[in-house]
């Protein structure tokens, strides 16, 4: 059995017929028949915008006879925002700063020349925009040897993250882990990039190698999974921004 694959008999059976949305507690609740969706820790799943509620409800509506809980990415991220982030805001903001301290976009290859040129052409505009619009100045490195980033930059990243609401903070923290880059997570949050582009920039070295040598089945499955998560995260941020 492939890693991550779940037999239908191992999954919970769908226990509801209708999925609806109702205003509740200043936001929007998702109802399964008459039962309100709650997180694993019991917190009520209240989306702050109707657009995000639509996204989450769509995941529940799209389930078949058995629930694919691991594949309900927006629901899982909402549960994180509701159940985990409020008690761990400082730690979440610090985790984003920690990714910035060794941000993927700051580590350029030493060779081959074609890869270095591609990284420069595609990463530098994002880094420069982060400097221009967010006040983040990063040290660039060649090779894999760690180069410390300015403490002012890391403090600024932490402050930017801490200033987000719980749902946006959960999204940026998820994105930093997904991309290995706080810069890309913040860029996606601000709408500078779409999810597919952010993922492609995070995989620039891999894509360069795949163009030369191809991609095997296991790697292709991993990329497909990451692509779904990146697309969801783009939808997540845009839904939060919707009126």
Write the pLDDT tens digit of every residue in 109-127.
999 999 999 999 999 999 9
CA distances from residue 29 to 43, 59, 177 in whole angstroms, order as listed: 12, 14, 28
Identify the domain boundary among 85, 117, 146: 85
Mean pLDDT of the chain: 94
Q: What is the CATH number for 93?
A: 1.10.3580.10
- The residue written with tokens 């845009």 in the block is 238
Assess whether 118 and 189 both reside in one domain: yes
Assess whether 72 and 114 both reside in one domain: no
The whole-angstrom separation of Cα 170 and Cα 234 is: 13
The whole-angstrom separation of Cα 163 and Cα 117 is: 35
Assess whether 203 and 214 both reside in one domain: yes
Residue 145: both structure tokens together: 């040897």
Tens digits of residue pLDDT in 82-92: 999 999 999 99
Q: Give the helix/strand (H/E) hosting 170.
A: helix 166-179
Assess whether 50 and 69 both reside in one domain: yes
Q: What is the CATH number for 65?
A: 3.30.2180.10
Assess whether 121 and 219 both reside in one domain: yes
Of 151, 40, 162, 41, which is closest to residue 92 (Cα–Cα)? 162
SS3 readout for 33-74: CCEECECCCCCECEECCHHHHHHHHHHHHCCCCECCHHHCHH
How many domains does the structure of the chain reveal?
A: 2
Tens digits of residue pLDDT in 51-71: 999 999 999 999 999 999 999
Identify the domain boundary among 31, 58, 85: 85
**Is residue 92 in a domain?**
yes
The pLDDT, as a whole number, for residue 8 is 56
Of 149, 168, 150, 146, which is closest to residue 92 (Cα–Cα)? 168
Assess whether 120 and 217 both reside in one domain: yes
Assess whether 79 and 153 both reside in one domain: no
| Residue 5 confidence (pLDDT) above 60 | no
Residue 143: which domain range?
88-241
**Is residue 173 in a domain?**
yes
Buried b (16+ CB within 10 A) or exposed e, 63-73: beeebeeeebb
**Is residue 2 in a domain?**
no
- Cβ distance 193 to 201 under 8 Å? yes
**Is residue 3 in a domain?**
no
Tens digits of residue pLDDT in 21-43: 999 999 999 999 999 999 888 88
**Is residue 71 in a domain?**
yes
């Amino acid at each position: 059995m492939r890693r991550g694959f779940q037999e239908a008999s191992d999954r919970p059976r769908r226990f509801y017929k209708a999925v609806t949305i109702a205003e509740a507690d200043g936001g929007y609740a998702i109802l399964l028949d008459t039962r309100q969706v709650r997180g694993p820790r019991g917190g009520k799943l209240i989306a702050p915008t109707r657009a995000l509620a639509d996204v989450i409800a769509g995941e529940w509506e799209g389930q078949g006879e058995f629930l694919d809980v691991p594949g309900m990415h927006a629901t899982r991220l909402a549960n994180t925002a509701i159940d985990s982030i409020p008690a761990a805001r400082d730690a979440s903001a610090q985790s984003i700063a920690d990714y910035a301290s060794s941000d993927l976009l700051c580590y350029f290859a030493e060779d081959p020349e074609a890869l270095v040129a591609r990284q420069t052409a595609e990463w530098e505009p994002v880094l420069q925009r982060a400097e221009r619009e967010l006040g983040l100045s990063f040290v660039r490195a060649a090779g894999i040897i760690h180069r410390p980033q300015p403490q002012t930059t890391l403090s600024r990243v932490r402050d930017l993250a801490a200033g987000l609401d719980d749902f946006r903070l959960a999204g940026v923290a998820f994105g930093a882990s997904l991309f290995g880059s706080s810069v890309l997570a913040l860029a996606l949050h601000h709408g500078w990039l779409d999810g597919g582009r952010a993922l492609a920039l995070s995989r620039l070295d891999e894509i360069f190698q795949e163009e030369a040598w191809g991609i095997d089945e296991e790697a292709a499955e991993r990329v497909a999974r990451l692509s779904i998560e990146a697309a969801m995260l783009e939808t997540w941020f845009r839904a939060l921004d919707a009126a």
